[in-house]
Amino acid sequence: MPVRIGIPRTLAYYAYFPWWKAFFEGLGLEVIASNPTSKGILDAGVKEAVNDACIPIKLFHGHIMDLKDKVDYIFVPRLVSVRRFGTETFCPKFLGLPDLIRASTTNLPQLIDIRVDLAQGRLELFNICQSLGRKFGVGFWTVTQAFWKAQRVFRRYEKLLSSQLTPVEAIERLDGGDVGELEVDNAQLSFAVLGYPYAVYDRFINVDLIKKLRSLGVRVVTAEMIPPQHLLKEAKRLPKNLFWHFSNRVMHATSYFLNREKVDGIIHITAFGCGPDAMVDRMMELAAKKKGRVPFLSVTIDEQTGEGGIQTRLEAFVDMLKRRRGLE
């Protein structure tokens, strides 16, 4: 029976899961993702996490609980930087995530908390993979083949995203699943839905906001659908870059949709209690106003988020823009 390694279906999952899944499978391991977020997973996370944690961190604890009796290891990398250049890093909670989990949760399988800091050099990711291979007793050439397999899979993943699939849909497509019909019939409006990926794509915690917008006849585009090289070009338009990786991506995507691919409105999904997110929210609103007063809606989520309230706000936002454009 192969060694089982678990990957929580939250936080960095939506950005990097296809890469790590392909790599670990190349080492001969069985990769098990936690189940999609549910009320049970959320409740377990709220119970395990410290009281003042933000909703993404509470969810992460819940996904750890979902995995802990199913796997031999849980992959919780200590994310420091995923860019070779610049000074951006991740939220301190990302940096200390393995320690948070160990301090609050008992009877865990071993955590794989390898440090990921790609600013250390061009070969850093390859060296990280070799270190992981040695941990599991896998030889140099097998690890190298797994590394290049992961690179190929990730390029396919990015291509699927650029075809305007969400990460959830792209992962399903990579696994051979049928994501169904994605085009919105007679879409009258186009919205950019932006935010940290673990808020934008978790269907439970954001009450399936993207699906609701599509059902209202809205074409939805997100940051992950923008080719990475285009996002980096947008960084040059901004007076300065922020300190946090995902905050930068949100601001770069905002600039892209305001300047290069025009949209009818921008929706920002933000987590209650997230300090960087609160700052980004205000910066996005000001940028939208400055660029021809593009309509902007902020949707805040936490463990108390109710579906009815978000549905009403989305319908009102869509109706307002349709009337403004004489579409009704």
**Among candidates 263, 183, 189, 182, which has minimal Cα distance to 222?**
263
Residue, of 263 and 94, whose pLDDT is higher: 263
Distance of alpha carbon 322 from alpha carbon 188, whole angstroms: 8
What single-letter DSSP state applies at residue 220? E
How far does Cα 73 stand from its chain's mean position? Answer: 22
CA distances from 168 to 179, 201, 285, 322 (A): 9, 7, 27, 29
Q: Is 234 helix (H, G, I), strand (E, B) or coil?
A: helix
Distance of alpha carbon 247 from alpha carbon 240, whole angstroms: 12
How confident is the model over 40-45, as a mean pLDDT? 95
**Among candidates 108, 110, 88, 91, which has minimal Cα distance to 3?**
110
% the chain with pLDDT above 70: 96
Mean predicted lDDT score pLDDT of the chain: 91
- 183-324 — its CATH code? 3.40.50.11900
What single-letter DSSP state applies at residue 118? G
**Among candidates 216, 174, 175, which has minimal Cα distance to 327?**
216
Q: Cβ(160)–Cβ(17) under 8 Å? A: no
Structure tokens at 175: 């696994």
CA distances from 155 to 22, 51, 158, 250 (A): 12, 39, 5, 21
26-40, 177-191, 250-264: lowest mean pLDDT where? 177-191
- 4-162 — its CATH code? 3.40.50.11890
Distance of alpha carbon 174 from alpha carbon 5, whole angstroms: 19
* pLDDT of 184 strictly over 70: no
The residues near 323 (Cβ < 8 Å, ≥ 6 apart) are: none
**Is the backbone of residue 149 left (phi > 0), alpha (psi -120 to 50) or beta?**
alpha
128-171 pLDDT, tens digit each: 999 999 999 999 999 999 999 999 999 999 999 999 899 999 99
Structure tokens at 215: 């059902």
* pTM of the shown model: 0.93
- Rounded to 5 degrees, φ, ψ at 13 are -50, -50
What single-letter DSSP state applies at residue 244? B
- Rounded to 5 degrees, φ, ψ at 262 are -65, 140
How confident is the model over 262-284, as a mean pLDDT? 90
Distance of alpha carbon 193 from alpha carbon 298, whole angstroms: 10
24-28, 70-74, 191-195, 299-303: lowest mean pLDDT where? 299-303
Distance of alpha carbon 104 from alpha carbon 109, whole angstroms: 14
Q: Name the residue ranges covered by the structural domains of the chain.
A: 4-162, 183-324
Residue, of 205 and 309, whose pLDDT is higher: 205
Residue, of 50 and 158, whose pLDDT is higher: 158
How confident is the model over 50-72, as a mean pLDDT? 93
